[in-house]
Chain A
């Protein structure tokens, strides 16, 4: 296949078109078009499912479905001021956190000091443990893992995370630091 430079310019516009398809499908889904909502589902399910898996680690399929069902119910509140993906992601974070908050285990573990699973943070260099990075993330304590996912993977700021979790920004920073110090030993 050969394309001219002008042809490549057209392709760049097409990339933008694909992203913009979300906005149109969201408007159609808000009017009751389930096929439009299925297109949104196909484009975003991997990201939402992965977010749920990293933050919860259990009941992933059920919570992912819950996120999407709530998205369908709340589509009327999507005004297009942000990208649909951003709106859906924030909704997913809220659903995940509510799911967690409903469990006393989460609250107990979050308020406690970081627990075992990985060594306590230390400056000294330990022998690297050859485990998958994602598996190492799963072994982090709930609080540190969620803050690591929200900050380093998803790009939220400490102030935003503090607001979501009902903690102060300093706690968010120290949990993130714990997670990074623990995970650095698992990079191969």
Chain B
């Protein structure tokens, strides 16, 4: 019996043999334990390679990168904070943020904010009115930033606009899904925290995107 070469078995494993050679290998493997064993070993190597995990560098390389690109090195602390506390902090941050923006808008905007145009760079947010004042502050902040983005959209790179729109759409869907989940499970603290974090993420994205717009205008 003529065995296929080990190289042929390796190529069979990768599915790169031509159809005729593949048929011959398949037929041979059915009756040859030696070749079947070798093929199994080669497959284990491939599986092991695909399961290898990435490891971090022994020391943080960011300071060197930051120095080379002219960025100020960041100060980083290692603090262990329980997840519930983080969620509570997220909610508190959202409320504070919304309230601060609401105050700022009252001082700066004589008339009521103009709603964003559907389908434009920023889309109207989906926000539950569980805390009316804070929700109004959040809405106002989102509308103000969306309006600014719309005004600067023409100056932004089209790829940036597309990416920001994609991201906003995904965040809005996440907000809507979290709100829907809360209607079915209103006492779920995790979902409340998740919703708050997602809203904050939208606000953060709008702020950052608006900053890009300001930078190029």
Binding site for B on A (CB under 8 A): 1-4, 6-7, 9-11, 13-14, 16-17, 20-21, 23-24, 27-28, 31-38, 41-42, 45-47, 49-50, 53, 60-61, 64-65, 68-69, 72, 79-80, 121, 123, 125, 133-134, 148, 152-153, 155, 158, 173-174, 176-177, 180-181, 183-184, 187
- In the complex, per-residue mask of B51-80: 1 if CB is within 8 Å of any chain A CB, else 0: 010111101011011101111101000000
Residues of B within 8 A of A173 (CB): 7, 10-11, 16
Is B25 close to A, CB under 8 A?
no
Given contacts A79-B159, A173-B7, contact A31 B170 (CB under 8 A): no
* Residue pair A45, B48 in contact (C-beta under 8 Å): no
Residues of B within 8 A of A53 (CB): 55
Residues of A within 8 A of B167 (CB): 17, 20-21, 23-24
* Residue pair B159, A6 in contact (C-beta under 8 Å): no
Residues of A within 8 A of B178 (CB): 7, 10
A152 in complex: contacting residue of B49, B157, B211, CB < 8 Å: B49
A24 in complex: contacting residue of B68, B188, B205, CB < 8 Å: B205
* Residue pair B46, A121 in contact (C-beta under 8 Å): no
Is B160 close to A, CB under 8 A?
yes
Interface residues of chain B: helix, strand, loop or mixed (majority):
helix
Residues of A within 8 A of B38 (CB): 123
Given contacts A4-B188, A123-B6, A173-B7, contact A37 B215 (CB under 8 A): no
Tell me the minimal C-beta distance from B185 to chain A in angstroms: 5
Q: Bin the interface of chain B by size.
A: 35 or more
Interface residues of chain A: helix, strand, loop or mixed (majority):
helix
Q: How far is the CA of A1 from the CA of B181 in the complex (A)?
A: 14
Among A10, A14, A35, A65, the one with the most B-chain Cβ atoms within 10 Å of its Cβ is A10
* Residue pair B163, A45 in contact (C-beta under 8 Å): no
* Residue pair B177, A13 in contact (C-beta under 8 Å): yes
Q: How far is the CA of A72 from the CA of B177 in the complex (A)?
A: 36
* Residue pair A38, B68 in contact (C-beta under 8 Å): no
Given contacts A24-B205, A123-B38, A184-B44, contact A9 B177 (CB under 8 A): yes
B174 in complex: contacting residue of A13, A65, A153, CB < 8 Å: A13
Residues of B within 8 A of A42 (CB): 62
* Residue pair A38, B74 in contact (C-beta under 8 Å): yes
Is B198 close to A, CB under 8 A?
yes
Minimum CB distance partner of A169 in chain B:
B16
Among B45, B56, B61, B71, the one with the most A-chain Cβ atoms within 10 Å of its Cβ is B45
* Residue pair A10, B191 in contact (C-beta under 8 Å): yes
> Using a CB-CB cutoff of 8 Å, which residues 161-210 of chain B contact chain A?
162-164, 166-167, 170-171, 173-174, 177-178, 180-181, 184-185, 188, 190-191, 194, 198, 201, 205, 208-209
Is B42 close to A, CB under 8 A?
yes
Residues of B within 8 A of A121 (CB): 6
Is B99 close to A, CB under 8 A?
no
* Residue pair A69, B65 in contact (C-beta under 8 Å): yes
* Residue pair A180, B181 in contact (C-beta under 8 Å): no
Among A17, A24, A158, the one with the most B-chain Cβ atoms within 10 Å of its Cβ is A24
Q: How far is the CA of A45 from the CA of B16 in the complex (A)?
A: 33
Tell me the minimal C-beta distance from B8 to chain A in angstroms: 9
Given contacts A34-B69, A65-B64, contact A180 B45 (CB under 8 A): yes
